[in-house]
Amino acid sequence: MIQKKLVIGIVAGEASGDLLASHLMVALKLARPDIEFVGIGGPKMQSAGMQVLFPMEKLAVFGYVEVLRHYREITGIRAKLRAYFLAHRPALFIGIDAPDFNLDLEQALKGHDIPTVHYVSPSIWAWRGERIKKIKRAVTHMLALFPHEPKLYRDAGISVDYVGHPLADMLPDSPNRDRMRESMRLPLSARVFAFLPGSRQSEVKQLARLYIETAKLILQQEPEARFLVPLISRETRTIFEQAIYDCDAEDLPFVLLFGHAQDAMIAADIVLVASGTATLECALLKRPMVITYRLNPMTWRMMKRKSYLPYFGLPNILFGRFVVPELIQDDATPENLAQALLNLLNDKDAIAQLEGVFSELHATLRQNTSEKAAAAILPYLPAV
C-alpha cells in the first residue's frame, strides 16, 4: 500500500524567509516524514524538497511605490495560488513573513477551513498596528520571533507562540575573525569594512552609489582599508558592478562576493548594512554596525506617517534605544556614513559595550526555534 503524502502549502517572499522556511521544513519532516511542501520559495527551500509554483523573486519587492509598479503581476500570482490551493487542498498553509502578500492568501484559505500559520509576526508594534484585525481574520496561529510580541496577539485573541529566532541558534557565540580572514586571504592587520546593500534588486539600485562614494571618503583616512560586498544574486552583482563603473571606482579595493554575507561580517571590523534581517545577523555576530536605508521618496513619506517608533533597524527596535547609529533617507549621505563608520570603528569602549549587549540579545533569542515552531504546527496536522 502506497502511503499518502501530507501536503503543506508554504510561501516565502525573500531571502530571509527562504532561510527561516528551510529550517522549519527540515524540522517538520523529521517529525512527519510523510510531509510534502508546495508553494513559493527560494533555493534553500527547494534544497529542502519543496515543489515551486512561482519564483520567489516575483515577490521580493518593498515599498508602496515599488509594489504598485508590480501590483498586477503580484495579485495575479496570489489569485493563481489561491485557486491552486483550493483545488488541491493542503492540510495546512504556512506564510513566511511577506504579510502584504500572505495575509490576503491566508484569509482566503482560512475562510475555506484550511488552517493557516504565519511565521514572523508583522511589525504591528512599529507601524500599521491596525493590521491586527486583519491578522485575526487570516491567521489560525502566529509564530513570533521576538519576546515582546506574543502579548499583543494574546490581547487580540490570536493564538501565538514565541519561538525565538533561528539565526540565534545557527550563529556562533564568538565568531573567529582571524580564522575567517585567513580563509578569505585578507591581511589580519587591515581595516576591513563589510558593506551589505540588501538582497532585493531595488535596494541595491538605491544604495550602490551611496556605498561606493562612502568607500571613497573612508579611503582618504584609511588608505589600506578593504571593502567586502556580499551580493545575493547575479542580478544584484551586475547592478553593483555597473555602479562601480559609473562612479569611476574600478580601482577601489572592493571584494564582491556571491552570498557569504555572514563570512563578510565575521571578517570585518565594522559593517555598513541596509536595514532588515541583516542588521540582526550582524548583531548576533557581535559586530559594530551603522544602519542605513533609502526608499523611493513617496514610499518614505507614507511609511513615516504610519510609523510609531523613532528606530528603523532591528537592534535598536529590540533594545528600545539607539544602540547603533542609523542614517536613513536624506541623512544617508557619503559624508555622514563615512564619519559614522570611522567614529565607531575608532571607539574601542563603544565597540566593547556593543559586544556585551549583543551577547545578551543572542541568549534571549536562542530558543531552538525550528523545533519550537514545528512543535506549534504539528497539532494542526491530521494524525498519522
Q: Look at residue 181 in the predicted model and tell me its pLDDT.
A: 96
Give the model's pLDDT for residue 308.
Answer: 54
Q: Residue 275: its pLDDT value, please? A: 76
Q: Which CATH superfamily is domain 170-365 in?
A: Glycogen Phosphorylase B; (3.40.50.2000)
Where in the chain are all domains bearing CATH 3.40.50.2000? 6-164+367-380, 170-365
pLDDT of residue 302: 64
Report phi then psi at 186, rounded to 5: -110, 140
Q: Could you give the CA distance from residue 152 to residue 289 in angstroms, rounded to a whole number? A: 30
* Average pLDDT for runs of 10 along the chain of length 384: 77 87 95 94 92 79 49 85 96 93 95 96 75 94 93 94 93 94 93 92 90 96 95 91 92 92 96 90 96 77 63 86 90 95 96 95 94 96 84
357 touches 316 (CB < 8 A): no
Q: What's the burial of 220, exposed, middle or buried (CB within 10 Å: 0-12/13-18/19+)?
A: exposed
Residues 381, 258: Cα–Cα separation, whole Å: 38
Q: What are phi and psi of 53, to 5 degrees?
A: -95, -35
Does residue 63 contact residue 295 with C-beta atoms inside 8 Å? yes
Residue with cell 506574543: 150
Closest alpha carbon to 282 in 293, 298, 270: 270
Q: What is the pLDDT of residues 162-209, one digit of tens each?
A: 999 989 999 999 999 999 999 999 999 999 999 999 888 888 998 999
Q: Which residues lie closer than 8 Å to 159 by C-beta, 6 or more apart?
A: 140, 141, 142, 153
- What span, in angstroms and rounded, lies between the C-alpha atoms of 163 and 367? 6
Place of cell 529566532: 165
Q: What is the pLDDT of residue 232?
A: 86
CATH architecture under which domain 6-164+367-380 falls:
3-Layer(aba) Sandwich (3.40)
